[in-house]
Amino acid sequence: MFMFDTHVHTCLSPCAELDMHPSALVAAAVRARLDAIAVCDHNSAENVAAVERAGRAAGLAVIPGMEITSAEEVHILGLLPDLESALELQSRIYRALPGRNQEDVFGLQVVANEHAQVLGFNEHLLAGATTLDVDRIVAAIHEAHGLAVASHVDRESFGIIGQLGMIPAGLALDGLEVSHRTPLPAARAAFAPRGEFPLLCASDAHEPRDVGMAATFLLLEEPTLAELRRALASQEGRAILGGGKPMEDLALHILDIAQNSLEAGATEIAIDLLEDPAADRLVIEVRDNGPGMDSKALAQASDPFYTTRTTRKVGLGIPLLSEAARAAGGRLEIESKPGEGSRFKATFRYRHIDRAPVGDIETTLMVLLAGHPDLNIRFRHSLGREVFELDSRDLRAAGIDPTLPEGLALLRETIRRGEAGLPRPAVPPKVL
């Protein structure tokens, strides 16, 4: 499983911050615990090579890309297989991009290397629109062997629906992108209710702090464009498992804690999510049979710079969950002993104005169950008197293999049906 942010900018984009140079972008992506990013500056790919070099040094996969503005002022992402393809498409875009940049109006367009050194300034009007309509842009991306994705379709400005009022029939898009503003379940219902298009979540980051603000979880063999293409088409077991705002919605807090447990060596994990509106209480409990923590590690568990992970650089999950619980009138309790596993219990006031939304349970379960098909993972969601429970052992006993396309489809349908069976009661307004 890989976590992608498929839409980030560098200081080359006139609307991006100057501190979004290639090395700073890569550092931000590593801090956000991303596995891969796609560099998509406005109408140009001149900083892609530097980001690729910085990414290789940091162990971060980088996909070349470009955010192209159509004649109708629609933003379309072109995700390309390699630098050569990106530069070839860039030449075509430059020929269709009238005007010269005015730095005092639109901002600097900085070409930089991986050492944060300025190499020059792009003189094209990258903030402008090309003379190519959306059909010709999508065709140009495909001729460069790339993927064409409509940017931030949930935004009025520069989104294809906001600009055109619809997605034109027959437009050969490979997918749609939604921003951090729209939860994935709402995006599915609004933009692809019958599965017309696969959906990606991405940050559209223009400054370092926004990198990874939204991301997509993908079941792939490796973080490459070829694998992403298969996932968008649901081919050969590759799949989009979900997406959203890591470490904001409670479902993704659950995912982070569970992933930590599994990476630490747990083979069994139990997750309980209790929603009790009548008692103004929400409880998340995660228990594992992992190696556990000694008193020193337990004391350090709330330190954002402490982690036992070898695949991530920092361990933000526990302190952020603790802060989320505290902000909503609750607390996080941790019990752990070496050789006896760990237990995490976060409590929240259900109606507290600062209580984060539960979020996309589907993404959390798809990532855990499809990413760890041989481990024992049990999830139980209680809302009032209704309960939805899912156990990986039951899936295996029923012959459902989430590593196969048909197994993924059955798993997704099971989760959606189970969550939909939990009726949302009317609750009083949120309170302080």
- SS3 of 309-331: CCCCCCCCHHHHHHHHHHHCCCE
pLDDT at 309: 43
293 pLDDT more than 90? no
Whole-angstrom distance, CA of residue 376 vs CA of residue 371: 12
Span 70-77, mean pLDDT? Answer: 98
Q: Which residue carries 């747990």 as its tokens?
A: 266
Q: Which fold does the domain 2-244 belong to in CATH?
A: TIM Barrel (3.20.20)
List the structure tokens of 76: 């379309």
Domain 250-420 has CATH 1.10.150.120: no
Q: Which helix (H) or strand (E) holds 378?
A: strand 376-383
pLDDT digits (tens, 9 = 90+) for 131-155: 999 999 999 999 999 999 999 999 9
Most confident segment among 178-182, 242-246, 268-272: 268-272
pLDDT at 314: 33
Angle at which helix 83-95 crosses helix 134-143, to 10 degrees, equals: 150
Q: How confident is the model at residue 425 (pLDDT cuts 50, 70, 90)?
A: low
pLDDT at 423: 82
* Alpha-carbon distance values, 332 to 130, 306, 321, 341 (Å): 52, 17, 7, 17
Strand-strand pairing, 2-8 and 36-39: parallel
Span 30-54, mean pLDDT? Answer: 96
Span 71-98, mean pLDDT? Answer: 97
List the structure tokens of 61: 């996969």
Low-confidence winner among 216-225, 246-255, 285-294, 318-327 (lowest mean pLDDT): 246-255
pLDDT at 432: 63
pLDDT at 294: 82
pLDDT at 308: 46
**Amino acid symbol at 147:** L
Q: pTM for the complete prediction? A: 0.85
DSSP alpha helices (H): ranges in 248-316?
250-263, 295-300
Whole-angstrom distance, CA of residue 30 vs CA of residue 398: 39
Longest Cα separation, the chain: 66
Q: Where are the domains of the chain?
A: 2-244, 250-420
pLDDT digits (tens, 9 = 90+) for 186-213: 888 899 888 889 999 999 999 999 999 9
pLDDT at 384: 85
315 pLDDT more than 50? no
Q: How confident is the model at residue 173 (pLDDT cuts 50, 70, 90)?
A: very high
List the structure tokens of 391: 């156990």
